Structures are given as structure tokens and as C-alpha cells.
Amino acid sequence: MMIWKFFWQALFFFSLIMFIVMFLKFTKEGYNDLKNIFRDHEK
């Protein structure tokens, strides 16, 4: 039981950290890419 319990706890924190990393990375890069898409369409 303890192995599963600690494994799920570790997995939860891993998910949360990855979520925050992805949020910071892709929010910024995605915004720049969206601007590029609209600029290309206007051209």
C-alpha cells in the first residue's frame, strides 16, 4: 500500500510541476506564434 501511496503522491507533484512548466513555456511561445499566424494571413 505504501509504495502505491508514495508513487501517486510523487506522480501528482510531477504532474503539477510539468503543468506549471508547460504553462510558462507555451503561453509565451504560443502568443508569439499566434501573432505570426495573423501577420502571415494579412500578408
Decide: is 43 part of the binding site for other proteins (CB under 8 A): no
Decide: is 35 part of the binding site for other proteins (CB under 8 A): no
Decide: is 10 part of the binding site for other proteins (CB under 8 A): no
Decide: is 12 part of the binding site for other proteins (CB under 8 A): yes
Q: Which stretches within 1-43 are classed as H helix?
A: 2-42
Interior angle at CA 11, CA 19 and CA 6, nearest 5: 150
Residues of the shown chain interacting with other proteins in the complex, contacts defined by CB under 8 A = 1, 4-5, 8, 11-12, 14-16, 18-20, 22-23, 25-27, 29-34, 36-38, 40-41
